[in-house]
């Protein structure tokens, strides 16, 4: 991984989710009414969260899970409901504070929410790692390298999503790049499934890991693809 490109992008992402988009993100992840486009995004994200959770064992008692880039914590809560001990970490302290206010009291003891970098080794070892839409703004090499680092501290599965490389998305992004920098979200970095799978297969830190299920979710403007890696 290029430390420079990862750290540069990480700074932009933190600023975006902690400042620019924090209130929009708070609303999108709540039950408050949103416009037509965001309604489709919300539905797609609900479907994606359900897909990723369905790839974890039904009974998560005794399992330690990392919700990497937890945002407002919806996935962490669902995993804890199934018995997991969850660490949720996000770059944005604002979103983590919001996640804390949304924790159901009966699950709070099972969810440790922190602000910081998901790659922080001091978080310890996990049975399962979930990264829902958390690596979609990193370049493919940096995303793969991040997943490889997470794999070093994971016993069973890593499930994550990436922005699938489609002609429409590529066109939208190249048009988006014409707009002034300050108005935009950090780039989505669309990734080709074959490329991410082959880079992961070739990464020495992922020796012994296998690519499992993949599932694309497409709902209005929300297009994301889930991928599962397991250590058999």
Ligand X SMILES: C[S@@+](CC[C@H](N)C(=O)[O-])C[C@H]1O[C@@H](n2cnc3c(N)ncnc32)[C@H](O)[C@@H]1O
89 forms part of the interface with ligand X (CB under 6 A): yes
Select from 61, 67, 46, 181 the least CA-distant residue to 116.
Answer: 67
Q: Which is nearer to ligand X, 29 or 225 (CB)?
A: 29
- Nearest-approach distance from CB 171 to ligand X, in angstroms: 21
Task: Candidates 57-65, 79-87, 131-139, 222-230: pick the segment binding ligand X (CB under 6 A).
Answer: 131-139
CB-nearer residue toward ligand X: 63 or 72: 72
Min dist CB 232 to ligand X, Å, is: 26
Contact between 126 and ligand X by CB under 6 A: the answer reads no
Instruction: Compute the least distance from the CB of residue 144 to ligand X, in Å.
Output: 14
User: CA 226, CA 163: separation in Å to the nearest integer?
Assistant: 9
> Cβ of 156: how many Cβ atoms within 10 Å?
16
Check: CB of residue 89 under 8 Å from CB of residue 116: yes
Question: Which is closer to ligand X, CB of 71 or CB of 164?
Answer: 71
Q: According to the binding rule CB under 6 A, does residue 77 interact with ligand X?
A: no
* Member of 118, 123, 159, 200 binding ligand X (CB under 6 A): 118
Structure tokens at 144: 């793969």
Among 22, 42, 51, 71, binds ligand X (CB under 6 A): 71
Q: For residues 126 and 52, is the Cβ–Cβ distance under 8 A? A: no
What is the rounded end-to-end Cα distance, in angstroms, of the chain?
A: 26
Among 65, 95, 103, 129, binds ligand X (CB under 6 A): 95
Q: Is 134 in the site for ligand X (CB under 6 A)?
A: yes
Q: Phi, psi (5° rounding) for residue 30?
A: -105, -170
* Residue 147 binds ligand X (CB under 6 A): no
What are the φ and ψ backbone dihedral angles of 130, each rounded to 5 degrees?
-120, 130
Candidates 112, 56, 107; CA nearest to 89 is 112
Nearer to ligand X, 74 or 217 (CB): 74
148 binds ligand X (CB under 6 A): no
Q: Contact, 231 vs 49, CB < 8 A?
A: no
């Amino acid at each position: 991984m290029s430390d420079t490109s990862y750290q540069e992008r990480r700074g932009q992402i933190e600023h975006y989710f902690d400042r620019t988009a924090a209130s929009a993100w708070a609303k999108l992840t709540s039950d408050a009414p949103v416009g037509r486009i965001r309604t489709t995004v919300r539905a797609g994200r609900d479907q994606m969260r359900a897909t990723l959770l369905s790839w974890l064992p039904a009974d998560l008692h005794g399992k330690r899970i990392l919700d990497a880039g937890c945002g407002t914590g919806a996935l962490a809560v669902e995993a804890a409901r199934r018995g997991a001990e969850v660490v949720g970490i996000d770059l944005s302290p604002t979103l983590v504070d919001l996640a804390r206010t949304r924790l159901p009291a009966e699950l709070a003891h099972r969810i440790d929410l922190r602000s910081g970098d998901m790659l922080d080794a001091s978080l310890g070892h996990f049975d399962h790692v979930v990264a829902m839409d958390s690596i979609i703004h990193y370049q493919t090499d940096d995303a793969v390298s991040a997943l490889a680092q997470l794999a070093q501290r994971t016993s069973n599965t890593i499930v994550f999503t990436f922005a699938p490389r489609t002609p429409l998305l590529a066109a939208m992004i190249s048009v988006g790049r014409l707009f002034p920098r300050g108005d935009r979200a950090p780039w989505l970095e669309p990734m080709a499934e074959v490329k991410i799978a082959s880079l992961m297969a070739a990464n020495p830190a992922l020796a012994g890991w296998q690519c499992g299920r993949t599932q694309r979710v497409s709902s209005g403007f929300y297009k994301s693809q889930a991928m599962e890696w397991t250590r058999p």
